[in-house]
Amino acid sequence: MTSKNAQERLKILGFFADHGEAATGDAFGLSRRTLYRWKQTLRQANGNPPS
């Protein structure tokens, strides 16, 4: 089971994949660095959200 935090990050990363960096940053108030760090962490964990 994934935590609320992990679920929220997955939702944001999905939005990022669909709408791009600028729209995601504007919509969620996140920096480019944060988005790519989350994406890299998820990739390194082989898609395991709780990581």
Asked if residue 16 belongs to a domain, the reply is: yes
Asked if residue 50 belongs to a domain, the reply is: no
Predicted TM-score (pTM) of this structure: 0.85
Asked if residue 14 belongs to a domain, the reply is: yes
Asked if residue 31 belongs to a domain, the reply is: yes
Count: domains in the chain: 1
Considering the chain, what percentage of its residues have pLDDT values greater than 70? 92
**What confidence tens digit (pLDDT) does each residue in 23-41 have?**
999 999 999 999 999 999 9
Range of the domain at 35: 4-44
Average pLDDT, integer, range 19-25: 96
Asked if residue 26 belongs to a domain, the reply is: yes
Residue 38, Cα to own-chain centre: how many angstroms?
A: 5
DSSP state for residue 47 in the 8-state scheme? T
- What does pLDDT average to over the chain? 90
Give, in degrees to the nearest 5, the angle at Cα 16 between 49 and 47: 20
Structure tokens at 27: 């919509």
| Contact between 17 and 1 (Cβ < 8 Å) | no
Of 44, 3, 45, 33, nearest in space to 11 by CA: 3
